[in-house]
Amino acid sequence: MLPDADDLPELLLDLAVPHEDINALVALRSRVTGDPGALRLLEQCVEEVFRGPEGTGHPPDLAELFAAAPAGLSGTFAVYVFVAALPRTLARHRERGVSPEVSRRTLADLGRQVAVHRRRHGTTGVNARCWLVRHFRGELFQLGRLQFERARLGQRSAPVLAAAGLDAVPGTSCLNLHIPDFHGPLTPSACDRSLALAREFFARHFPEERPVAALCHSWLLDPQLKRYLPADSNIVRFQERFRTAREDTEPSDTEPVQFVFGDPGLPVAELPRRTSVERAVGDHLRAGGHWYIGHGWFPFRTEPPLAD
């Protein structure tokens, strides 16, 4: 189920795993292949990755299975699960005609999450391991600066969109929009390009779904950021693309801290003030304020692909 030790380094590099983590992952491979219980768990996890219908926005939750990894593999076991799942993932992509370039850039999020883990903990591991299930199921794709996840409207969002005039009911196809880290500025031109790519991509590869809207659930949509950032800043201009779907009442202070500073557990008093975003996040918290997840949407229409 896993590639042999000689082939594993190149495969990990293809998934953008940082060079400094390759040797450790190759060395730990034998801990998986030499343990019958670990191999059974690996097979169970891979089957769970692909269980259930696609495109619902609610992939299987592997948290308990990942937590059952043998001692010494708890931080890295998910890497082997996704490596073992890779052939089936790529087969799903090929069935839909997804290009190798899009596959590579999408699945490179595994390496991104390994890099986040090292930045936060200083060791080899994978951050947000359950998040990556979407990528390997063939439900999320990196298209330029943004990621787009096939999903369906829920009980809360569908009435909001219907009231705005869209043909929307619970279960209607939509896209969840995500903003990956380590990918440069969130410029308006980069976002425009991503949206253009997405309109053509989903029309070509998932023509039956026809998403009616793109939704985003992120601290980047907290309107309080406009108090601190210039009107022409990338974040404010990103916010202006969206209509409000709903407002949260429960604070999510650790969300901006982890994405801006790399560690959600950093003491607020010690947060740096090097950039305008760092100053906004830290100063607001130090003044006793809170940050919230914003929920936004805008209409989305796929565009028929040009004839080949």
Instruction: List pLDDT tens digits, range 190-203.
Output: 999 999 999 999 99
Per-residue pLDDT, 271: 95
Show the domains of the chain with their CATH numbers.
1-139 (no CATH), 144-250+292-308 (3.40.630.120)
User: pLDDT digit string (tens) for 23-63?
Assistant: 999 999 999 999 999 999 999 999 999 999 888 889 999 99
Angstrom distances, CA of residue 144 to CA of 6, 14, 97, 181, 264: 32, 18, 18, 13, 27
pLDDT of residue 305: 59
pLDDT more than 70, % of the chain: 98
What are the structure tokens assigned to 273, written together? 């003030």
Distance CA 181, CA 115 (A): 10
The per-residue pLDDT for 8 is 98
Nearest to 127 by CA among 262, 238, 297: 262
Tokens of 174: 């939509």
- Distance between CA 220 and CA 255 in Å, rounded? 9
Tracing tokens 């009616």 back to the chain, one arrives at 212
pLDDT for res 240: 97
Rg over alpha carbons for the chain, rounded to the nearest Å, is: 20
pLDDT for the residue 303: 73
Given this model, what pLDDT does residue 307 score?
54
Query: Which ranges of the chain have pLDDT less than 50?
Result: none
Q: Which two tokens stand for residue 192?
A: 């425009």
Question: Treating both helix axes as pointing N-terminal to C-terminal, what angle do 109-121 and 19-33 enclose, rounded to 10 degrees?
Answer: 100
pLDDT given for residue 304 in this prediction: 66
